[in-house]
């Protein structure tokens, strides 16, 4: 359902950013020629430290920013880069950074975004009933966003993002900043979506989340994918006892090759 081919994205740095990055180069390559594919019924994880390029890659895949080169294909031959409007009907991008207007209610916000996705009134009510019940939003659907907890706001954001029931779900840091109960609700639901045959990509820097959820993992360091495989394949390849051990072996090797220190 989704194929990433030679994806590259670079940004121009301001003088202040160059100083913070300790570089004299005004260009920063955030994502460097990465390729991978994700099949229906699979959770693929991009695992890496902060600044590795995970969010940039997901934003390119989600049509939010354009890559400098490469392409992303959905449903066989629909190009995210060349046919972004068509591609969006296949995609849902979920992020903890989604801001909800405080003075609206979950009911109003869901209806508004579902209509943007082209759902009719019957479809909206059917999807709302399913998702609000799943995340426990139904009891709060007429309460203003400003009066809700951070965890409930996150659940509403997820419901809104999935209103059109997309086949491809892209989730940037699915459990970051969530309490343990909300985080468990989110990870359990991602597993349900996988079992329904959805194509799912997540980014994370949390080893336990990647180990538990992901069928395959791509380890991203300094904008490049250093290895891809199932957890067992990566552990065997790196002769590691767990994912954290494998990650640090790869990270140390990358930094040693660059002549730096860990």
Q: What is the per-residue pLDDT across 223-243, written as a single tens digit (0 to 9) for each?
A: 999 999 999 999 999 999 999
Q: Is residue 3 over pLDDT 70?
A: yes
Query: Are 9 and 52 part of one and the same domain?
Result: yes
Query: Are 86 and 106 part of one and the same domain?
Result: no
> Two tokens at 73?
């294909």
pLDDT bin (cut points 50, 70, 90) of residue 216 is very high
Q: Is residue 185 over pLDDT 60?
A: yes
Range(s) of the domain holding residue 102? 98-165
Query: Are 224 and 152 part of one and the same domain?
Result: no
Q: Count structural domains, the chain.
A: 2
pLDDT bin (cut points 50, 70, 90) of residue 179 is confident
Domain finish residue from 147, 165, 183: 165
**Within a domain: residue 234?**
yes
* pTM tops 0.95, yes or no: no
Interatomic CA distance for residues 73 and 60, integer angstroms:
12
Which of 153, 135, 134 is closest to 145 using CA atoms? 153
Query: Are 113 and 241 part of one and the same domain?
Result: no
**Within a domain: residue 207?**
yes
Decide if 215 contacts 197 (C-beta within 8 A): no
Q: What is the pLDDT of residue 97?
A: 60
Q: What is the pLDDT of residue 260?
A: 56
**Within a domain: residue 179?**
no
Interatomic CA distance for residues 139 and 73, integer angstroms:
39
**Within a domain: residue 180?**
no
Query: Are 30 and 74 part of one and the same domain?
Result: yes
Domain finish residue from 123, 148, 165: 165
Query: Are 71 and 201 part of one and the same domain?
Result: yes
**Within a domain: residue 178?**
no
Query: Are 41 and 59 part of one and the same domain?
Result: yes
CA angle in degrees (0–180, nearest 5) for 148-139-134: 95
Mean pLDDT of 8-31: 86
**Within a domain: residue 184?**
no
Query: Are 83 and 102 part of one and the same domain?
Result: no
pLDDT bin (cut points 50, 70, 90) of residue 1 is confident
**Within a domain: residue 182?**
no
Query: Are 2 and 49 part of one and the same domain?
Result: yes
Alpha helices in the chain (DSSP H): 15-21, 54-61, 84-88, 106-116, 121-134, 150-161, 180-195, 207-213, 231-238, 243-257
**Within a domain: residue 110?**
yes
Query: Are 15 and 83 part of one and the same domain?
Result: yes
Query: Are 86 and 198 part of one and the same domain?
Result: yes
Residues 80-114 pLDDT 10s:
999 998 998 899 988 766 678 889 999 999 999 99
DSSP string across 193-252: HHHTT-EEEEEES-HHHHHHH-SEEEEEETTEEEEEE-HHHHHHHHT-SSHHHHHHHHHH
Which CATH number does the domain housing residue 208 bear? 3.40.50.300
Query: Are 213 and 260 part of one and the same domain?
Result: yes
């Amino acid at each position: 359902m989704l194929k990433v081919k030679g994806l590259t994205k670079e940004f121009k740095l301001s003088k202040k950013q160059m100083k913070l990055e300790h570089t004299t180069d005004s260009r920063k390559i955030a994502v460097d020629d990465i390729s991978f594919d994700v099949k229906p019924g699979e959770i693929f994880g991009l695992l890496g430290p902060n600044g590795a390029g995970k969010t940039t890659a997901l934003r390119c895949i989600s049509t939010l920013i354009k890559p400098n080169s490469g392409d992303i294909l959905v449903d066989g031959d629909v190009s995210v880069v060349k046919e972004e409007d068509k591609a969006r009907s296949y995609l849902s991008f979920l992020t903890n950074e989604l801001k909800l207007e405080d003075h609206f209610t979950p009911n109003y916000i869901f209806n508004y975004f579902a209509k943007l996705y082209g759902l009719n009134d019957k479809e909206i009510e059917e999807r709302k009933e399913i998702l609000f019940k799943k995340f426990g939003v139904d009891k709060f659907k007429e309460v203003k966003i400003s009066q809700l907890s951070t965890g409930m706001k996150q659940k509403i954001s997820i419901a809104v993002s999935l209103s059109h029931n997309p086949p491809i779900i892209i989730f940037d840091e699915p459990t970051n900043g969530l309490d343990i109960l909300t985080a468990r609700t989110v990870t359990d639901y991602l597993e349900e979506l996988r079992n329904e045959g959805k194509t799912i990509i997540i980014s994370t820097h949390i080893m336990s989340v990647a180990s538990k959820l992901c069928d395959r993992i791509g380890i991203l360091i300094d904008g490049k994918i250093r290895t891809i495989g199932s957890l067992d394949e990566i552990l065997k390849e790196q002769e590691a006892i767990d994912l954290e051990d494998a990650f640090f072996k790869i990270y140390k090797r990358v930094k040693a090759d660059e002549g730096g220190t860990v």
